[in-house]
Chain A
Amino acid sequence: MANFFFGLPLMVQGIAKGLAVILFIFPVAAACSMAERKVSAWIQRRPGPNRTIPPFFVGIPGASILQRLGIFQLAADGGKFFFKEEPLPNHVHKFYFILAPFIAMIPAFTTVTVVPFGAYLDPEGKVIPIMLANVDIGILAIFAVASLGVYSLILAGWASNSKYPFLGGVRASAQLISYELSMTLSVLPVFLWVNEPGSSGSLSLARVVEFQSHAGFWGGTWFLFTMPLSAAIFMIALFAETNRQPFDMPESEADLVGGFHTEYGAFKWSLFFVAEYANMIVGSAVFALLFLGGWNLLPWLPLSSLLEDLHRLTGSALWLNPLVSGVLSIAIFVAKVLFTIFFFMWVRWTVPRFRYDQVMRIGWKVLLPLSIANLVAYTVGIYFLQG
């Protein structure tokens, strides 16, 4: 089967892989909304949505577990978004109003192309990353495309032609632009460290993971331990970039009704929703790659030695099979991403929302100077360690 796949034309391979990734991300992004409701419920000691079940599923063993996990509720919600009426208020700029949710979706799904999500061992025992496009611009492409996402919020807020969406759009633009600075600056030390002098430079995320899978104490350390400040700033900026609490200024349910999506409903609204969760998934994936060692199970235990250990312990050569190693590494990586998403939801119920001026103060007066100081400190450190 693997031979058949690699025998296909490159274009077909790419399209198949792209579809596979989108077919994975779309349902996971939708399932995140249920996870959000469930995590919220459990933190507040409620059971959460647990009653919906189609009549023909009643009595099937196992269906009641799905019922209690709210899976049928998720399906019902999704179905509702497809079939309910599409409201299009009279006062909106119709073209841009319809365009905005699509603009939200496109960057959310485009950034996935440069995110590696696993690796496999090729017959020579080399670790080859699995990703849609292993391009050298990696993180730069993510930042460049992801920052286009803010246009959808501005466009939605402006095209809605009413005051709350407008305020939401203005806030969105200010917040996202402010936090992009410190986000970009916070990851620069990682790439300074990865691109040693003399080696060919690359901003690829696969390279960062490769760097965290070297042997030895310093080689196998995740960047979370060597650059905790970078990780913290990146995480906080990620909260702001994905409009999560405590930085949910563009939505601001409390003071702006629904913020930029006040006028939206039905399928267009759900597109914003899925785009937001897709952004969260990509953001969590980048965090896992940069700071949590990507597809390495534990710090100081890279994927290749994990597979060799499994091979030695069980005596089965199956572990060195490209397909098995690929699936295992993807599973490890997805587990990390899902944990990071859980962390997003966990923080949501822990930290109260910031006021708008506090958001701006944290962004410009705390995070930006911190990330600049961090960059300078690590640049000097790296100069003396590697130079």
Chain B
Amino acid sequence: MAVIQVQRKPLSLAERTYIPQVIGGLLTTIKYFFRPSETLQYPEQRPAIPPGYRGVPTLVMDPHGREKCVSCQLCEFVCPPKAIRITPGSVAQGAGVDHVEKAPQAFDIDMLRCIYCGLCEEVCPEEAIVLQNQFSMSGYGRSEMVNHKDRLYELGGTLPDKHFKWDKKKAAETGAGGHH
């Protein structure tokens, strides 16, 4: 570690009169006076959301319009503030969603408890719960701050799916030479 000796020079006469410093300061402030404002006019202008932003957690559907969540409840168990509450339910047979065994009957996220940590997204084996771009939530009461399942799907929309893992699994099961 090099030791840097700082020279503490006594103030010069010009510095002690304080005048050059004040004039320099006045020039600096007038420079900023003529610069355009930095403010984002919020409700009209929106900030650019960077990729990987952790906004409000949402539930997403796969490109076939089927819900991805299989109500494994991992997110509910991992959630540090216990904001997620899932009631598992069975899937209707023959309705085009029977590639999986279960689906949530109810899925509530209490946004007054949520801390936007993103652990639910990280733990989800189905990539069904995603923290997307929405950053502002408001409501007239505590009950309005709980996102129910339909609201969660409305916020989440559809995201592309690269795997379709249950379709592949099912095809492998019913087709010849499956693992099982």
Contacts and interface: CB of A to CB of B under 8 A. Distances in A.
Interface of A: 39, 41-47, 346-347, 349-351
A350 B25 contact: yes
A351 B18 CA distance: 10
- 9 interchain residue pairs of minimum CB distance: A350-B25, A45-B38, A47-B37, A350-B29, A43-B33, A42-B33, A43-B29, A350-B26, A46-B39
A46 B36 CA distance: 8
B41 A346 contact: no
Contacts of B36: 45
B29 A46 contact: no
20 contacts: A39-B33, A42-B37, A43-B29, A43-B32, A43-B33, A44-B32, A45-B32, A45-B35, A45-B37, A45-B38, A46-B37, A46-B38, A46-B39, A47-B39, A346-B26, A347-B22, A347-B26, A350-B22, A350-B26, A351-B25
B38 A351 contact: no
Which residue, B25, B26, B33, B38, has most C-beta atoms of chain A within 10 A? B33
A354 B33 CA distance: 23
A349 B29 contact: yes
Contacts of A346: 26, 29-30, 33
Contacts of A350: 22, 25-26, 28-29
Nearest to B25: A350
Interface size class of B (residues with CB under 8 A): 10 to 19
Contacts of B32: 42-45
B33 to A, nearest CB: 5
Nearest to A50: B41
A149 to B, nearest CB: 26
A47 B41 CA distance: 9
Contacts of B30: 346
B36 to A, nearest CB: 7
Contacts of A39: 33
Contacts of B28: 350
Nearest to B34: A42
Given A45-B38, A346-B29, A346-B33, 5 more contacts: A42-B33, A46-B38, A346-B30, A350-B26, A351-B22
B8 to A, nearest CB: 21
Interface in B1-59: 22, 25-26, 28-30, 32-33, 35-39, 41
Nearest to B37: A47
Nearest to B27: A350
A351 B20 CA distance: 12
Nearest to A352: B25
A39 B37 CA distance: 12
A352 B32 CA distance: 17
Contacts of B37: 41-42, 45-47
A242 B151 CA distance: 59
A350 B31 CA distance: 12
Contacts of A44: 32
Nearest to A246: B22
Interface string B77-89: 0000000000000
B16 to A, nearest CB: 10
A43 B29 CA distance: 6
A41 B38 CA distance: 11
A343 B35 CA distance: 18
Contacts of B41: 47
A53 B155 CA distance: 33
